Amino acid sequence: MNKVKGMIIIMFASGIFGLVPLFAKVGMENGMNTYTLLLLRCFFATLLLLIYMKIKGIDYKVDKKFLVELGVVSFLCYGLMMYTLVSSYKYIPTGIATTLHFVYPAAVLMGASLFYREKFTIEKAVTVCAAIFGIYLLSADSGGFHIELKGILLALASGIFYAIYILKASHGRIREMNSFVLVYYLSGFNIFYFIIFSAVTGNLNFDITMTGYVDVILLSFVSILGMSLFKTGLNHVSSCSASILSTFEPLTSIVIGVVAFGEPFTGRSIVGTIIIIGAVVYISFAERNISSDVDRVEEMQ
């Protein structure tokens, strides 16, 4: 039953992440650039979480050794993931960047098998490939476009960094952390990283409208909810299955694009949607069967 719960939580979290483009678009229209958006997103997320944990009496203190580990994970995983993905937009279309970023389910599959001894199966590999292809159909422009190698490498790197985060969050001491505490530290460390990124690139800008600030606060809340739920779901399902289930995210983005911005929903979008839903349904049934087998074994003992 815990696996079913975990799958539902992961898909719900992924759906929430799919709302991010909506808030990002509004923020950009109200004075923010990409770097300022990420910086303020982390700042307000940290502030909101600190207030929430103080009110709820959640202990968020960690020892110095673990604090160093969290700092490294925050930078090498989440911070660099966001930075490389955003940077890739300068060189290649965002749809192609999104497709390349979603190489992370394949990276998680290989990393889980190599470093954490999770079982590698042909079914999982095929499901990962199908999900990535579905995302390509949803995201990539069918027309001509200019591709630069630097953009490709940056987008692929963002997927690798996110895969490392998923693996770290689903194993070891980080797995045992309270979800809100983990997101608090991830956001807190990344405030400093994005101040540095913004200053070095000359993109530190706070000439933002009040609507922009309200928007980024709402974005921070959405990010907290999505990241916390995703971490909670990782406690119940394997890292590979979680990464496949998270491909549900682009579907939400597509719906938002069609409903809020009048973007077209083409034949290839329909095919991509069907493929992704098929991959998610397949891995859901696979995880549920594993959960049922485990429950039967426990009942026999």
What's the mean pLDDT in 68-86?
A: 87
pLDDT at 216: 94
Yes or no: say if 55 and 140 are a contact pair by the CB < 8 Å rule: no
At which residue do the structure tokens 């998270």 appear?
246
pTM: 0.81
Q: In the block, which residue shows the tokens 């807190």?
A: 188
Furthest C-alpha separation in the chain: 65
pLDDT value at position 39? 92
Please report, for residues 90, 106, 287, the alpha-carbon distance to residue 156 in angstroms, rounded to integers and kept in the order given.
14, 11, 27
Q: Tokens 């990124």 map to which residue?
A: 197
Report residue 250 as tokens. Answer: 């682009």
Q: For residue 62, give the 3-state DSSP assignment.
A: coil
> What was the pLDDT predicted at 241?
81
For range 136-151, the mean pLDDT? 67
Q: Residue 225 and residue 17: Cα distance in Å, rounded? A: 9
Hey, how many other C-beta atoms are within 10 angstroms of the C-beta on 12? 17
Q: Identify the residue whose tokens are 């999770």.
A: 118
> What phi and psi, each to the nearest 5 degrees, are found at residue 103?
-75, -10
Two tokens at 141? 């422009």
Highest mean pLDDT pick, 116-120, 121-125, 234-238, 289-293: 234-238
Model confidence pLDDT, tens digit, residues 154-175:
988 998 999 999 898 888 889 8
- The C-alpha atoms of residue 75 and residue 87 are separated, in whole angstroms, by 16
pLDDT at 142: 53
Mean pLDDT of the chain: 82
Angstrom distance (rounded) from CA 40 to CA 151:
25
Q: Are 164 and 111 in contact (CB under 8 A)?
A: yes
pLDDT at 300: 38
**pLDDT-based confidence at 295, cuts 50/70/90?**
very low
